[in-house]
Amino acid sequence: MDRISEGYAYHRIILDESETPCDYEFLDVNSAFEELTGLNGSEIIGKKITEILPDIRNDVFDWIEFYGKIALSGEETEIKQYSKPLDRWYRVNVYSPEKYYFVTLFTDISKDEERFRRLAENSQDLIYRYEFIPTPGFVYVNPTSTSIVGYTPEEHYNNPNLPFDLIHPKDKGTLEKYVQGLLPFDKPLELRYIHKNGQVVWIEQKSIPFYDSSGSLVALEGIGRDITQKKQIEERDNHLQKVIMGIRNVNQLIVKESNPDELIQKACDNLTETLGYYTAWIALFDEKQDVSLTASSGFNSEFEILTKQLENGNHPYCMQEALRSDVIIIIDSPLEKCIDCPLKSESSERAALCCRLQHNSHIFGVISVSVPKKYAYLEREHDMFKEVVGDIAFVLYNREIEEEKKQQEEHLLLMTRNMNDVVIETDIDGNYTYISPSHKRILGRGDELLGQNCFSKLHPDDQESAKGAFQKIVETCKENKAEYRYLHPDKGYIWLESIGTSYLKRNGEMSILINIRDITERKMAEDQAKNIAQEYETVFQGTQDSMFLVQVLENDEFQYIRTNKAHQESTGFSLEEVRGKTPRELLGKKKGDLVCANYARCVESKVPIFYEEFLTLPAGKKVWMTTLTPIIRDNDVRYIVGSSQDITGRKLAEKGLQKANKKLKETMIKANKMALQARSANKIKSEFLANTSHELRTPLNSVIGFSEILLEESMGDLNDTQKKYVSNISKSGKHLLKIINEILDLSRTESGKIEIHKEKFDLNNVFEEIREVMASQAIAKSINLQITSNENNLTVFADRRMIKQIIFNLVDNAIKFTPQNEKVSITAKISNENKILVSVSDTGIGIPENKIEEIFDPFIQVDGSTKRSYGGIGLGLSIVKKYVEMHGGDVWVESKIGEGSIFMFTLPIKQKVICFESLP
Ligand code: ADP
């Protein structure tokens, strides 16, 4: 036992009468015991502890009770304990070998303990030991307590209740639970204490519990760490996080919400509902910088008071400052600066951040939020506030742009709705503020009127009524119409109709928008209608016909409304006698029934009716020709206008006339019959002539042919007399053939049997052929036959035979009716109207004016007598006319008696060209 370094002692417990340990005596100790305690073994063996160390009773630790429990229960325990009487720290292992006896094995740990204290004394953390038994209180607190909670260790020792005095009210419950062992000791606990200086201190504490043998908590040893700073950062981050969430909600809101009213209210709600900001309010301006809209969140009724102040132009301090500055205004001591602000009571614990809502150079209003005062100067707080301010301002800006765009579109729509309308805008005094481009076109004046009064150009008589209508728009804000005359600079007064409405511009000013239309035409039509009515009245009264107006009543009844003078004179009824009476009342039942039947017919048919009637009236027995004209309204005949002519005299005359008419009719029928007969006779004649001419031509050709052969003397010589006679036969035959050919041609054309065969040829060639044929005739009369063609090429598309015949007939006549030694010429040229004009002129006898038209008719000759000196049967020109017309041309003559004639005809080139081009 002596060899071991641990102290060893063997004891017996001493109980009092109530069997409670009250002392113990030493039975054995070893030498290490003597060294570790400083007691002498021989002096203490058999002695009681209270005798050896009487001070033991004053030790905070109840050694006797502690050992007693082990001696009685036999439990082995180890403790680390300071012994006050020996002033040393021991680690003691205690066990009981048999009841009432106990052994202690111990070492001196005072040196370890000192080291611990040194550590504790220098620790940044608060270190303590709190004992609950026998009396609660701190047994150790390190000096760091002074800096962490502001109280010295002594102050702790003197006030065992100090932790409960310092704990933050919100954490009191937690601390109570903790010391009652209801929360685990091994988990660190974060609690708020109030520092001696009043500030909140966050302490994270961790404790080791000590229990007695019965399991009750006897002491707590622990460390408390000041985590205030960490907590503040956490709290700040938490706050900023909430602000961010609010901003995010605002961002989502602004893309959806375009109504500014809703927008600012919801924005305020979003900013406070995440608890980022305690309160938020926004005030928006109109163009005059007057507050027009407000919204708030997080206030009770105090904001309503502010709203009223804002409406009265009374801006709070923060707002004035914010409007003046482009940085965030921080109100950290509202009680000083915001004396008059109804929000200040709310703001006393908090700081306000206020900023103007601005995008580009446009200021929309201000926004103010309240934040924990400690964050009022935080850069990140400002950054986020700036962000939300920028977002709201931007959306207000966009909304305004859109609003402006919408207004412009509406304006444009109004203007373009009807291009024939004019749109003007005026202020409430009627001075032009806008004039649509159509104003100049329709009303003759444009933008030069801007600023002038819109009534100045109105007709003096219409100004008052137009101003009245305008005033009504201003007063009632309702649409109103007006019609008036306007002095057009070129047209004089024109009638205009206008519809005006009022609207509020963005700047809050009232504008009058007026749509104007020129109704001059309508007005003229109305005037015309008025004139017609007047004219009708004049006619009604002035006409020779007797006229009356009847109103249609129910049940086939009628009532006279008015009559004209003629009616009164010719019937003998005065207007007073007639007016308001029914026909039966006026004329009696029998005549009235007849008259009513006619009126009913008109009502039934709804169209004017005519009839003759025989009536005996005050003015006498008369025959009337009456017309009834219905006046229809809403598809029913409401009135009848009657017009009666006294035809008594005419009726008598008619009888005589009827007889004459009958005769005339019979004569006309006869004449028609004769005309018909004549027409068919003409056709028969033409057919007869065509047939006979054909029959005549065949033998005549033999006569001419054979006489030609005889003249050639191939059948034997002829003497002079024979030659003369045969030559006569030939000449006469040819002459006869010419006549027959003419008859044949004409009758063919008249009976429609002749066909036209067109071909392309040069007219010049035809002229040459004519020259050849006519040469002998011309030479015989010493007539100079000239052919002049201005064109090298006179290609026509025509019936060559017919054209040749035309020219031949004209030249033949020209030579025939021209004396010897005179001149006949043929000319051709292309005339302006794209026609070829051919003229055959002579210096012959000419044609009297009264025959000019006729000579183109068949068988017409100027000298039709049997003693006439020129041959021919009067068909040549009719053939010319027919042929020319068949080619779509014209023929005519200009002539003077004794001077000569020019026969001209045209051939359309167009026709030729078209036909030519259409050839394959
Ligand atoms: P015809 O020559 O056979 O009598 P036309 O029909 O050719 O028949 O002419 C009708 C009439 O027009 C002629 O009889 C003549 O009186 C008149 N006439 C025609 N050509 C001329 C002319 N160049 N100069 C004068 N008179 C003419």
Residue 883 Cα, ligand 1 centroid: separation in angstroms? Answer: 17
- The whole-angstrom separation of Cα 334 and Cα 338 is 5
Residue 234 Cα, ligand 1 centroid: separation in angstroms? Answer: 136
Residue 841, token pair as written in the block: 């002129």
Residue with the nearest Cα to atom 13 of ligand 1?
Answer: 861
Name 663's Cβ contacts closer than 8 Å, sequence gap at least 6. Answer: none
Residue 208 Cα, ligand 1 centroid: separation in angstroms? Answer: 162
Residue with the nearest Cα to atom 23 of ligand 1?
Answer: 814
Cβ proximity of 244 and 236 under 8 Å:
no
Of residues 494, 439, 437, 491, the one with CA closest to residue 462? 494
Of residues 863, 903, 865, 901, the one with CA closest to residue 881? 903
Of 823, 863, 877, the residue with max ligand 1 atoms within 8 A of its CB, to mutate for a pocket test, comes to 877
Q: What is the dihedral of CA 859, 861, 867, 872, to 10 degrees?
A: -60
- Determine the atom of ligand 1 nearest the C-alpha atom of 903: 23
- The whole-angstrom separation of Cα 78 and Cα 100 is 18
Residue 187, token pair as written in the block: 């988990």
- The whole-angstrom separation of Cα 728 and Cα 39 is 210
Residue with the nearest Cα to atom 9 of ligand 1?
Answer: 874
DSSP 458: B
Tell me the CA distances in angstroms from 145 to 37, 142, 161, 175, 560, one per residue in order.
34, 6, 15, 18, 126
Q: Which residues of the chain have pLDDT under 70?
A: 1-4, 134, 213, 345-348, 409, 411-420, 506, 652-657, 659-661, 663-664, 667-668, 671-672, 675-676, 678-683, 685-687, 690, 751, 866-868, 910-920
- The whole-angstrom separation of Cα 426 and Cα 432 is 4
Phi, then psi, of 353 in degrees rounded to 5: -115, 130
Of 855, 868, 878, the residue with max ligand 1 atoms within 8 A of its CB, to mutate for a pocket test, comes to 855
Residue 875 Cα, ligand 1 centroid: separation in angstroms? Answer: 9
| List of E strands, 647-794 | 759-762, 784-789
Cβ proximity of 802 and 886 under 8 Å:
yes
Residue with the nearest Cα to atom 4 of ligand 1?
Answer: 874
Q: What is the dihedral of CA 851, 854, 860, 865, to 10 degrees?
A: -20
- The whole-angstrom separation of Cα 283 and Cα 319 is 9
Residue 861 Cα, ligand 1 centroid: separation in angstroms? Answer: 6
Residue 725, token pair as written in the block: 């006679």
The H or E element containing residue 149 is none
Residue 846 Cα, ligand 1 centroid: separation in angstroms? Answer: 9
Of 746, 810, 817, the residue with max ligand 1 atoms within 8 A of its CB, to mutate for a pocket test, comes to 817
pLDDT at 917: 31
Residue with the nearest Cα to atom 7 of ligand 1?
Answer: 876
Q: Which long-range contacts (CB under 8 A, 24 or more apart) does 890-895 make?
A: 891/856, 893/847, 893/852, 893/855, 895/846, 895/847, 895/852
Residue 814 Cα, ligand 1 centroid: separation in angstroms? Answer: 8
Cα first-last separation, the chain = 158
- The whole-angstrom separation of Cα 210 and Cα 207 is 10
pLDDT at 656: 59
Of 812, 862, 863, 884, the residue with max ligand 1 atoms within 8 A of its CB, to mutate for a pocket test, comes to 862
- Determine the atom of ligand 1 nearest the C-alpha atom of 817: 24
Residue 817 Cα, ligand 1 centroid: separation in angstroms? Answer: 7
Beta strands 101-108; 88-95: pairing state: antiparallel
Name 274's Cβ contacts closer than 8 Å, sequence gap at least 6. Answer: 242, 243, 245, 246, 249
Tell me the CA distances in angstroms from 665 to 479, 539, 658, 844, one per residue in order.
73, 38, 10, 50
Residue 117 Cα, ligand 1 centroid: separation in angstroms? Answer: 169
Rg, C-alpha atoms of the chain: 71
Residue 824 Cα, ligand 1 centroid: separation in angstroms? Answer: 15
Which amino acid is residue 813, in one-letter code? Answer: N
pLDDT at 919: 33
- Determine the atom of ligand 1 nearest the C-alpha atom of 846: 25
- Determine the atom of ligand 1 nearest the C-alpha atom of 809: 7
Residue 892 Cα, ligand 1 centroid: separation in angstroms? Answer: 13
- Determine the atom of ligand 1 nearest the C-alpha atom of 872: 3
Residue 888 Cα, ligand 1 centroid: separation in angstroms? Answer: 23
Residue 855 Cα, ligand 1 centroid: separation in angstroms? Answer: 7
Pocket of ligand 1 (CB under 6 A): 809, 813-814, 817, 842, 844-847, 855, 861-863, 872-878, 901
pTM of the prediction?
Answer: 0.38
Of residues 664, 583, 588, 659, the one with CA closest to residue 628? 583
- Determine the atom of ligand 1 nearest the C-alpha atom of 878: 6
Residue 548 Cα, ligand 1 centroid: separation in angstroms? Answer: 70
Residue with the nearest Cα to atom 19 of ligand 1?
Answer: 813
User: 10 Å Cβ neighbour count for 652?
Assistant: 10
- Determine the atom of ligand 1 nearest the C-alpha atom of 842: 23
DSSP 589: H
Residue with the nearest Cα to atom 3 of ligand 1?
Answer: 872
Cβ proximity of 794 and 836 under 8 Å:
yes
- The whole-angstrom separation of Cα 223 and Cα 120 is 10
Residue 862 Cα, ligand 1 centroid: separation in angstroms? Answer: 7
Residue 764 Cα, ligand 1 centroid: separation in angstroms? Answer: 25
pLDDT at 529: 78
pLDDT at 482: 92
Residue 835 Cα, ligand 1 centroid: separation in angstroms? Answer: 25
Residue 120 Cα, ligand 1 centroid: separation in angstroms? Answer: 164
Positive or negative torsion for Cα 47, 52, 56, 58: positive
Residue 777 Cα, ligand 1 centroid: separation in angstroms? Answer: 16
Which amino acid is residue 157, in one-letter code? Answer: Y
Residue 728 Cα, ligand 1 centroid: separation in angstroms? Answer: 24
Residue with the nearest Cα to atom 16 of ligand 1?
Answer: 862
Of 738, 743, 745, 813, the residue with max ligand 1 atoms within 8 A of its CB, to mutate for a pocket test, comes to 813
pLDDT at 920: 31
**Per-residue burial over 432-465, b = 16 or more CB atoms within 10 Å of its CB, e = otherwise:** bbbbbebbeebbebeeebeeeebbebbeeebeee
Residue 893 Cα, ligand 1 centroid: separation in angstroms? Answer: 11
